[in-house]
Structure 1
């Protein structure tokens, strides 16, 4: 449920690409998602394990990784 909700938020706040993917910077996603849940990083990691999103690095940290691009895969 949380992973599905996260993907919906990425679609809402992100930018669509020609290949059908949607991209959003971690900082923007964190600002939006934190009002819903403080578990955004854990949910992102689960979504990546399920093959739904892609991003660089093993762990994302608010502030340090705000510019990291999260890609919601088509």
Structure 2
């Protein structure tokens, strides 16, 4: 698995599904990302891709780990495009 490629795909999907927040940054709810059919087919391990992107400071979200159901309303914010 190419992490750089997965992170770039994640950025594209956040841009596709998200909208500008109060700070002008693109933001999408984790639940929207997780339930999207295209994302489900693209990412084998979305949570791992999110963690890698957060570590690289490409995205931000509250907490260490996002879990489906529990964190559906958590904003995933795109820091870099």
Query: Which protein, 1 or 2, shows the higher relative CO under an 8 Å CA cutoff with sep ≥ 6?
Result: 1
TM-score (normalizing by structure 2) = 0.83
Gap regions ≥5 residues in structure 2: none
Query: How far is the alpha carbon of 1:31 from its aligned partner?
Result: 1.4
Which residue is equivalent to 1:25?
Answer: 29
CA RMSD of aligned residues (A): 1.4
Count of aligned positions: 74
Shift in Å, 1:9: 0.2
Deviant stretches of 4+, over 6 Å:
none
Structure 1 length-normalised TM: 0.90
What runs of 5+ residues in structure 1 fail to find an aligned partner?
none
